[in-house]
């Protein structure tokens, strides 16, 4: 499963790398890298861009599979969020992962701090509040592995999220062991500015039903508000109650929403290509020599394992991935060897290492970054400019734009604001408002004529917005600027709320209105659907910034 090394190499360089460099850093033959990349492209996990290979948000379905199966974010995340609201401090959940702690949930209230860890980031156990709690359960073999890592990588370069120098400052084994023992005695882990000046944290273990540690609950603050001692006094008692509730939550039945887990296998790949999820593709053998089946099968097994908190027996893995038993078994053995799967011989489960496959980087993508490749493909397809905009007060604000030709005299760039009422994107965004918000907008807004064609009567605009909501698109021409036509559709979040609009803008003489609806609307809708699908995958467990 050499292809996994390619994903790892891409993840280690913020999701993007030259193909030639991938061959160098993985030690794989260029031809192998090419085959791996075309396989990943086929699965929808990688896209080519200007000679580079780039990870796509679709890849997050692998990490989502682990997170769903772990039950930690689904079951404990809402409790952590409520604690963050109550304390008005950041709260995080981290799970033990080899000689480190990996974040699986973040409820972030960052002020005055430059650094925020993302889901998928891993800290070495000797750094930060959660790790000492986990190290208390280590045996001599675990300590030997820790020592080996420290000797091989003294600056912890393998931990991409760790600021340089932080690990060296944690001291030697004696110092770490003393911290672990102290933590074992009082049951808390503390971080007094080990990672960043000003950053203080305190952590408690959340026990799992089997008697081990499911995760660490951390409260993170800043020395301008709290010290480690004041955290102990003011926050710790409440944290203990919350940790108890969390333990009870893990002992109870799963609260994961059924549509997100075993019930629906993840599906990716471009909507118009026959390609689908790793699971569907893995079983096919007729995709040509460029397709690395072992890789596709391994990834299919990863997504299949996302369906179960208790782990799956071999036969269930074979069923869920659509693979023959012997094939599924080989994939499981390789994944176990690579550290992505663990098991007792009867049942197999994903490990948090699955989050190493690009999750942290991809969870930091913003909506404009997610949208950009889809806007570019749309613009190329229709030979007109494509843009993404959000509502900013009573204006639309451009958040992304791929221009092919300038047909507008107004010079539009990212950040440009235009009045919502006279633009197709604005109408799509206004049509997505609640009835009360729409009424308030129509009540307060002035609708000056920008051209002789601008709709300026509130009642007419209201009727247009209703029609837009019904049709699912808006078309406006000559209203903002004579000669300009725009057609726009909404982009909705996981809850179905309209959060952005995508448009294609053109000169009115380029096509008739009928041609615009026949030729531009379908690819426009497909682009919005691709953005929404990436957004769904990217926001399953973490928020995505809209701009």
Among 92, 397, 454, 539, binds ligand PHB (CB under 6 A): 92
Residue number with CB closer to ligand PHB (133 or 370): 133
Q: How near is the Cβ of 282 to ligand PHB at its closest, in Å?
A: 36
Residue number with CB closer to ligand PHB (80 or 425): 80
Site for ligand PHB contains 195 (CB under 6 A) = yes
Residue number with CB closer to ligand PHB (26 or 188): 188
Locate 97 and state its tokens.
């992962």
What is the C-alpha to C-alpha distance for residues 418 and 85, in angstroms, rounded to an integer? Answer: 35
Residue number with CB closer to ligand PHB (59 or 93): 93
The values of phi and psi at residue 189, to 5°, are: -115, 140
Q: How near is the Cβ of 130 to ligand PHB at its closest, in Å?
A: 6
What is the bridge-based pairing of β-strands 348-350 and 341-343?
antiparallel
What is the C-alpha to C-alpha distance for residues 151 and 159, in angstroms, rounded to an integer? Answer: 15
The values of phi and psi at residue 330, to 5°, are: -60, -45
Residue number with CB closer to ligand PHB (117 or 441): 117
Residue number with CB closer to ligand PHB (137 or 482): 137
E-only strand ranges, 376-453: 385-392, 395-402, 417-419
Residue number with CB closer to ligand PHB (220 or 389): 220
What is the C-alpha to C-alpha distance for residues 44 and 38, in angstroms, rounded to an integer? Answer: 10
Q: How far is CA 29 from the centre of its chain?
A: 31
Residue number with CB closer to ligand PHB (21 or 192): 192
Taking Cα atoms as reference points, which of 329, 370, 331, 337 lies closest to residue 353? 337
Which part of the chain contacts ligand PHB (CB under 6 A), choosing from 195-203, 397-405, 458-466, 533-541? 195-203
Q: Are 371 and 338 in contact (CB under 8 A)?
A: no
Q: Are 523 and 515 in contact (CB under 8 A)?
A: no
Binding mask 253-272 for ligand PHB (x = CB under 6 A): --------------------
Q: How near is the Cβ of 141 to ligand PHB at its closest, in Å?
A: 25
E-only strand ranges, 98-212: 100-107, 122-124, 189-192, 199-207
Which part of the chain contacts ligand PHB (CB under 6 A), choosing from 193-201, 305-313, 380-388, 514-522? 193-201
Residues 6+ apart with CB under 8 A from 176: 125, 126, 132, 135, 170
DSSP 3-state of 260: helix
Binding mask 100-119 for ligand PHB (x = CB under 6 A): -----------------x--
Taking Cα atoms as reference points, which of 3, 14, 105 lies closest to residue 358? 14
Site for ligand PHB contains 220 (CB under 6 A) = yes
Residue number with CB closer to ligand PHB (88 or 515): 88
Residue number with CB closer to ligand PHB (7 or 129): 129
Residue number with CB closer to ligand PHB (361 or 511): 361
Please work out, in degrees rounded to the nearest 5, the angle formed at the alpha carbon of residue 165 by the alpha carbons of 160 and 171.
115
What is the C-alpha to C-alpha distance for residues 376 and 362, in angstroms, rounded to an integer? Answer: 19
Which residue reads 């633009």 in tokens? 423
Residue 451 burial (CB count, 10 A): 14
Q: Are 447 and 461 in contact (CB under 8 A)?
A: yes
Q: Which of residues 122-161 bind ligand PHB (CB under 6 A)?
A: 128-130
Q: How near is the Cβ of 142 to ligand PHB at its closest, in Å?
A: 20
Give counts: helices (H), strands (E), the chain. 21, 17
Q: Which of residues 482-521 bind ligand PHB (CB under 6 A)?
A: none
Q: Are 162 and 127 in contact (CB under 8 A)?
A: yes
Stated length of the chain: 547
Q: How near is the Cβ of 17 to ligand PHB at its closest, in Å?
A: 27
The residues that touch ligand PHB, with contacts defined as CB under 6 A, are 90, 92, 117, 128-130, 191, 195, 199, 201, 218, 220
């Amino acid at each position: 499963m050499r292809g996994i090394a390619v994903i790892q190499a891409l993840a280690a360089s913020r999701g993007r790398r030259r193909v030639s460099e991938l061959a160098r850093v993985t030690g794989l033959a260029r031809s192998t890298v090419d085959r791996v990349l075309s396989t990943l492209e086929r699965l929808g996990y990688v896209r080519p861009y200007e000679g580079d290979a780039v990870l796509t948000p679709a890849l997050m379905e692998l990490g989502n599979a682990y997170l769903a199966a772990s039950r930690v974010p689904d079951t404990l995340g809402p409790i952590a969020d409520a604690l963050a609201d109550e304390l008005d401090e950041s709260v995080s959940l981290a799970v033990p992962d080899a000689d480190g702690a990996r974040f699986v949930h973040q409820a972030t209230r960052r002020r005055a701090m430059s650094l925020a860890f993302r889901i998928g980031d891993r800290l070495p156990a000797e750094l930060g509040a959660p790790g000492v709690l986990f190290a208390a359960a280590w045996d001599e073999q675990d300590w030997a592995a820790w020592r080996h890592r420290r000797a091989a990588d003294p600056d912890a370069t393998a931990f991409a999220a760790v600021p340089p120098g932080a690990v060296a400052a944690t001291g030697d084994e004696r110092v770490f062991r003393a911290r672990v023992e102290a933590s074992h005695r009082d049951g808390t882990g503390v971080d007094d500015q080990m990672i960043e000046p000003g950053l203080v944290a305190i952590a408690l273990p959340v026990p799992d039903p089997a008697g081990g540690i499911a995760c660490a609950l951390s409260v993170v603050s800043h020395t301008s508000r709290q010290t480690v001692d004041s955290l102990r006094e003011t926050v710790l008692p409440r944290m203990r109650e919350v940790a108890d509730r969390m333990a009870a939550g893990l002992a109870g039945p799963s609260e994961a929403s059924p549509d997100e887990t075993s019930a629906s296998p993840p599906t990716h790949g471009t909507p118009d290509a026959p390609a689908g999820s790793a699971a569907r593709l893995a079983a096919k053998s007729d995709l040509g020599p460029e397709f690395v089946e072992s890789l596709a099968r391994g990834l299919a097994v990863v997504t299949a394992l996302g369906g179960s908190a208790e782990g799956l027996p071999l036969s269930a893995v074979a069923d869920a991935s659509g693979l023959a038993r012997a094939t599924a078994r080989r994939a499981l053995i390789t994944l176990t060897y690579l550290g992505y799967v663990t098991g007792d011989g009867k049942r197999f489960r994903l490990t948090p290492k699955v989050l190493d496959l690009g999750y942290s980087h991809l969870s930091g993508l913003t909506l404009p970054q997610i949208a950009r490749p889809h806007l570019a493909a749309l613009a190329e397809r229709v030979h007109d400019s494509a843009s993404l905009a959000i509502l900013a007060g009573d204006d639309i604000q451009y958040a992304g734009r791929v221009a092919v030709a300038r047909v507008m005299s107004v010079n539009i760039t990212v950040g440009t604001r235009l009045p919502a009422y006279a633009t197709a994107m604005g109408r799509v965004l206004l049509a997505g408002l609640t009835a009360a918000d729409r009424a308030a907008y129509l009540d307060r807004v002035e609708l000056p004529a920008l051209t002789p064609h601008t709709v300026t009567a509130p009642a007419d605009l209201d009727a247009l917005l209703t029609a837009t909501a019904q049709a699912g698109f808006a078309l406006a021409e000559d209203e903002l600027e004579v000669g300009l036509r725009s057609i726009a559709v909404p982009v909705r979040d996981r809850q179905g709320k309209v959060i952005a609009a995508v448009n294609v803008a053109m000169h009115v003489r380029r096509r008739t209105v009928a041609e615009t609806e026949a030729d531009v609307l379908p690819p426009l809708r497909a682009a919005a659907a691709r953005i929404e699908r990436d957004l769904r995958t990217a926001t399953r467990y973490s928020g995505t910034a809209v701009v």
